[in-house]
Structure formats: structure tokens, C-alpha cells
Structure 1
Amino acid sequence: MASYVLLEQARDIQALVLDVDGILSDGFVSLTNSGDEIKSFDIRDGLGMKLVQASGMKVIIITGRKSNIVEKRMTDLGVDLIFQGREDKGVALKEACAQLNILPEDCLYMGDDWPDLSAFAIAGMKVTVPNGHVEVRRRADLVTQAMGGRGAVREVCDMLLTSKGTYQALLEKYLRLTH
């Protein structure tokens, strides 16, 4: 569980901003013989994103690559904004914030490699994964226990829900479904 300091820092976060490769996926690019790309997403991360939205936060995707797979999965999840093919993620983060009328300081940005550093520089909270590049880990407020594409986003979502005091109420809804 996150420390008291991290929970305090997370309390005012209004948007969860995620890179895709290495964060929502394992960072591997798998291609079929016909050249089609294959990506895997952890279903727990998807539920975490929906829970974060249910508690009033926005979810934003900023990725350097373009992929129909990402567009489909994020649209299916009801993500608020999707920015693909964006090399300067700091600029994309500023654009997303302007569209949602929030400040970059109100965002938790989760990334794993050098292209994410410009967004790290302006986000209010910075998170990476254990196999994130050393320069990203060095600048992160939190390094998750889980790996990218393997529940790391859910771990962060649970921390955000806990910081906002909504975790238990959301859990209770699922506990009542079993009766």
C-alpha cells in the first residue's frame, strides 16, 4: 500500500494520464507473419480505469505510436481523451489539460521511458514501473510493484481511489453483487 505522503499527494489528482507501451501493455511489439500487430492488455487495468472514472477522475491516453488496437481498447473503456502518434508528450499533456480545463499539476502521469520525461516534468505526480528506464525511475514519485501490462495501472488506480476515499464504497458495490 502507498505511503501516507503518496496518498496525500494523490488526493488532489483529477486525471490519470497513461502511456501505452510499457504501461498498459508489456512494451513488446508482437507482429504476425502478415505484419499485423498484437497487443495484450490486463483486464484488471481496464477495470481500474473505469473505477477511477466512476470516482470522478478523467483518464487520458498519450502514446507515441499509432495503433487501431489502442483506439479500440481505449474507446471500449470509455477513456476521456486519446492522443496517439505524439512524440512530445509534455505538449500533448498540456493540450489534454486545456481541453479538460485542468492543470498539469492536477494529473498523475504514468510512463516508462525517455519520451515520457517531458510529461513527467510538468505532471503533479509521476509514476513508473519496475522495468522503466533508470532515468524515469529516478524522477518518479512512485515505482509500482507490478510490471507494465501486468496490473501496474490497477495498482495506481487503487492508490488513487484510496486517496480519494472512494475505494471501499466502490468495492461494496461488487460485494453486494454476490448476494
Structure 2
Amino acid sequence: RIMNIRDGFAMKAAIESGYHVCIISGGKNEGVRIRLRNLGITDIHLGSPDKVETFKEYIELYNIKPEQVVYMGDDIPDYHVMQLVGLPTCPQDASSEIKAISKYISHKNGGKGAVREVIEQVMKVQGKWHMYYNGKHD
């Protein structure tokens, strides 16, 4: 798995601004888990055999409505979760099936800043990106 340093910055900014960030992946790379924990992400589900079930447990735990969720997926295992969320997104190099159901397709490829692009856009729309950028976060 490839992770862009800018993606990491954006995930950390989102967490520090009060957003929930959850990783649901079929991959099992423990190096990824360590990197994500270092960013402050606590909801990390690697090797998830059923992403829909993991997603449902996650939103129930935090009392989040599916329509409040931004989800980035890139391939068929993400398809059914993406049908449940309010804003399904994907990187530029996602499979055609995932692109077809995405409401936003990043201009960046996976691992090349796509996560950063989506998080930054969400935070900007909600007026939180500049607050974070200007050091006015907790």
C-alpha cells in the first residue's frame, strides 16, 4: 500500500478538527496500521472480510448516519458500502464500476493525494480547512 504524506497530513487535520476517520481495508499490512496510528487514527480495520458489516458496526458505535459519511473506495470490495453513504468518492484510477457510483472522482490517483483532495474539499466547504491551516484548531 502506498501512502502520500499529504494524505497523512489531511487525515491528521480532519481528526484534530473533530471528524471521525475510519480505515476499512482488505489488506493486512501492519506497517500501514502503525502509520495510521501515528496519525491519530484509532478506527483501523485491516483484513476486513465484510466491509459492509464493519461499516455498519462503525457508524452504530459513533451514532453516525450513513448519509453523513464520505467514503473513498477504489475497487469492487468497496461497492456495496459506497451505495450506503452520503458521499461516495474515489481516486482517479479506481475501477470503472466504482467511478460509476461515485459522486466525486478525485483528480489524483490512489496513494498520490486523492485522500487529501477529498478531505481538504470537505473541510473547506464546512469552513474548517482554513481554521486548521491558520492554527486555530485545538
- Alpha-carbon offset, residue 126 of structure 1: 0.3
- Give RMSD over aligned pairs: 1.4
Partner SS for 1:46: helix
Name 2:98's counterpart in structure 1.
136
Quick one: distance in 2 between partners of 1:166 and 1:86? Answer: 31
Quick one: distance in 1 between partners of 2:77 and 2:17? Answer: 29
Quick one: distance in 2 between partners of 1:87 and 1:103? Answer: 22
TM-score, structure 2 normalization: 0.93
- Alpha-carbon offset, residue 54 of structure 1: 2.0
Quick one: distance in 1 between partners of 2:42 and 2:126? Answer: 19
TM-score, structure 1 normalization: 0.72
- Correspondence 1:106 to 2:44: no
Task: Report how many residues are paired.
Answer: 136
Name 1:21's counterpart in structure 2.
none
Quick one: distance in 1 between partners of 2:88 and 2:124? Answer: 17
Q: Contact 1:87 / 1:115 at 8 angstroms: preserved in 2?
A: no
Partner SS for 2:7: helix
Q: Which runs of 5+ in 2 are unaligned?
A: none
Q: Contact 1:52 / 1:160 at 8 angstroms: preserved in 2?
A: no
Name 1:62's counterpart in structure 2.
24
- Alpha-carbon offset, residue 173 of structure 1: 2.1
Bigger CA radius of gyration: 1
Q: Which runs of 5+ in 1 are unaligned?
A: 1-38, 175-179
* Percent identity of paired positions between Structure 1 and Structure 2: 33
Name 2:132's counterpart in structure 1.
170
| Cα distance change on mapping 1:106 and 1:80 into 2, 3 Å | farther
Higher relative contact order (CA 8 A, sep 6+): 1
Residue number among 68, 74, 80 corresponding to 2:36 in the alignment: 74
Residue number among 67, 75, 79 corresponding to 1:117 in the alignment: 79
